[in-house]
Amino acid sequence: MIDLLKLQERFAEVDFKIDEPLKNYTYTQVGGIADVLFFPKNKRELSKIVIYANNEGIPWQVLGNASNIIVRDGGIRGFVIMFDRLNTITVNGYVIEAEAGANLIETTRVALYHSLSGFEFACGIPGSIGGAVFMNAGAYGGEIAHLLVSAQLLTPEGEVFTVEARDMKFGYRRSMVQESGAVVISAKFALKPGVFEVIKQEMHRLTHLRELKQPLEYPSCGSVFKRPLGHFAGQLIMEANLKGHRIGGVEVSKKHAGFMINIAQGTAADYESLIAYVIKTVEQDSGIRLEPEVRIIGEKLAD
């Protein structure tokens, strides 16, 4: 049982909400209630939340900005921490440092403003810096691993330490952060000097491509599946005749089969059922088993 009075006393300067529906924050617009949802404004507040939770035996997890994620309908017990207010972006020469809650697209715009090249590939990727480092986000031939200098991480115990890029064990949509239990709280990226108009044109080109191909007009969790070696997930799903297939309020996008969109007040259970159905059907059709890229967290609703 979480003592509300104790929380109010302990975290008088920190914004938080009790029994808050997470569907109000996720890109999919699904997700049950968080017992306590925190919005730390700086690393000191973040560390204070984590240390308190550990001392009190309260489970905690970071939701980042809830883009490439599905929160189950039963919600999340304990503390949930949003990073959207940890969003400072600074530029020092050719290096950009951004806190984990900084918007990835906004960070690419800061790079453009300073005529720094290298981040163009990410100009249309929704999500946060922390999530991008966590999963080595990439598109159009670029990925975070190509730019990262170092990342500042928060351990499950509440300690802060720095990891150099060479020690991040990056792979396709992978980093050591996924196994360590740590949380990205900031990152530094090395860019190259460029020409403002050239960078701007490339960002416009990639944004236009994304708008043409992806169902950005609907709530979604972004790309649902990892790219199988030698194949494209969307192509395999399309060849299995699953474009437009719907379970509950969630549908395989008719525009891009690699996306699942919430078209009619869908639930996390709808997403999970559709993901399982697509994996099974594609494997039957092609012999290839798709692996989800999206993270699924939280508790299922009790029967």
232, two tokens: 């494209």
Q: How far apart are CA 83 and CA 66, in angstroms?
A: 9
> Which of these is catalytic: 45, 97, 128, 173?
173
> Which of these is catalytic: 20, 120, 143, 293?
293
Question: Tokens 């403003």 map to which residue?
Answer: 113
- Residue 259: exposure state from Cβ atoms within 10 A (0-12, 13-18, ≥19): buried
Q: Which letter, b or e, does each residue of 262-293 get, where b requires 16 or more Cβ atoms within 10 Å of its Cβ?
A: bbeebbbbbbbebbeebbebbeeebebebebb
Q: How far apart are CA 211 and CA 87, in angstroms?
A: 25
66, two tokens: 């809830």
- Catalytic annotation on 106? no
The answer to whether the beta carbons of residues 157 and 181 sit under 8 Å apart is no
**Sign of the torsion formed by the C-alpha atoms of 278, 282, 283 and 288:** negative
Q: How far apart are CA 137 and CA 167, in angstroms?
A: 17
- Catalytic annotation on 202? no
- Catalytic annotation on 173? yes
> Which of these is catalytic: 128, 223, 227, 251?
223
Distance of CA 197 to the CA centre of its chain: 29
The answer to whether the beta carbons of residues 274 and 260 sit under 8 Å apart is yes
Q: Which are the catalytic amino acids?
A: 173, 223, 293
